[in-house]
Amino acid sequence: MKKRTSVAVGALGLALGVAGSAQAATLEDVQARGVLNCVVSTGIAGFAYTDESGEWKGFDVDFCRATAAAVLGDPGAIKAVTSTGKTRFTLLNAGEGDVLWRNTTITFSRDVGVKLRFHGVNYYDGQGFMVRKDLGVSSANDLDGASVCIQTGTTTELNLADYFHANGMKYEAVTIETNDEARQNYTAGRCDVYTTDASGLAATRSTFTDPDNHIILPEIISKEPLGPATRHGDDQWSDIVTWVLNATITAEELGVTSANVDEMKSSNNPEVLRLLGVEGNQGSELGLSADWAYNIIKMVGNYGEIFERNIGVNTPIGLARGLNAQWTDGGLLYSPPFR
């Protein structure tokens, strides 16, 4: 019920919210509040979920924690604002969240039409298909006439419509609001196919009791650059989120980890010194303390650490770095320099 009402609440928020609140300095709001509100998903293994003790964990949640470490010096000072694919932007635009870290694809219409600010990519993804092995399907081109489970309000449903239309195939769309319910429909056999971002498929499959009975088809039908988003109208806050992401990527590239960050403070690489706030005044230019990036790396870790801990090959999700390797390793991660 809660998530169903949230669009209405969000719309109401737009109506009744204090006029001009969208322009307020988010940084000051967050610091005064002492808590960072992050829009995250309602739950997807490895990316954003609560563990047995009720604590939020996951790849996207760690980036939220990194932001809190930079802004508040405390990765624990976060509040997760859960959102379905459909409610996420309304919640963000209505001011319920300060920043969105929720496997969200950067697209033209979201950037320009929905008026979001995007700040780079924290996961390069693409849409894939998962089917039961016993269907005997080996390619997405064999899916004519299938029933397909999708989540409402995603790029997934648009890509799917385009893909089947372009290939002259028909399908039955079973459109569900949350990942959980979509997964239940898929496992109960209401759908032959579950489709979403390949990372989401791997995460979903990892929660099955019989993951080996499902295969992910080879076709990737779209580009899904996933990244954080904020509202229009607050450039300082946009810069902060952009450079939080860049700091995690640059730290990995420069070999700075949560384990060695203290030693690295006496590195002889000037970029490391600028990153960690030993030299220069990048922190104060952002409106943050000098050790903002140090805090991120010390308290949460660099990009590689966040990746491996939550979704890497040694986790049940088991994702390889692939496109998400550093550019120096043949991947696409390429942070602008700290200069």
From 36-44, 248-256, 284-292, 303-311, span contacting ligand GSH (CB under 6 A)? 36-44
Sheet with 229-231, strands from edge to edge, namely 78-83, 36-41, 99-100, 229-231, 116-118
Q: Is 266 in the site for other proteins (CB under 8 A)?
A: no
Q: Is 179 in the site for ligand GSH (CB under 6 A)?
A: yes
C-alpha 44/C-alpha 39 separation (Å) is 14
Interface map 65-104 toward other proteins (x if CB under 8 A): --------------------xx--xx--x-----------
Secondary structure string (H, E, C) spanning 247-267: HHHHHHHCCCCCCCHHHHCCC
Which residue in the set 25, 161, 313, 332 belongs to the binding site for other proteins (CB under 8 A)? 161
Q: Is 232 in the site for other proteins (CB under 8 A)?
A: yes
The region that residue 145 occupies, defined by phi over 0 for left and psi between -120 and 50 for alpha, beta otherwise, is left
Q: Is 313 in the site for other proteins (CB under 8 A)?
A: no
Helices (H), the chain: 2-16, 26-33, 59-72, 88-93, 108, 155-166, 179-187, 198-206, 235-253, 261-264, 270-275, 282-286, 292-299, 303-310
**Closer to ligand GSH at the Cβ: 39 or 146?**
39
Q: How many residues bind other proteins (CB under 8 A)?
A: 58
C-alpha 18/C-alpha 32 separation (Å) is 17
Rg of the chain (C-alpha set): 20
Element housing 229 (H / E): strand 229-231
From 39-47, 131-139, 164-172, 215-223, span contacting ligand GSH (CB under 6 A)? 39-47
C-alpha 303/C-alpha 13 separation (Å) is 35
Q: Is 236 in the site for other proteins (CB under 8 A)?
A: no
From 181-189, 199-207, 213-221, 254-262, span contacting other proteins (CB under 8 A)? 181-189
**Closer to other proteins at the Cβ: 119 or 231?**
231
197 binds, among ligand GSH, other proteins, none (CB under 5 to 8 A by kind): ligand GSH
What minimum distance in Å lies between the beta carbon of 4 and other proteins? 7
**Closer to ligand GSH at the Cβ: 224 or 234?**
224
**Closer to ligand GSH at the Cβ: 48 or 276?**
48
Q: Is 84 in the site for ligand GSH (CB under 6 A)?
A: yes
Q: CA end-to-end span of the chain, whole Å?
A: 48
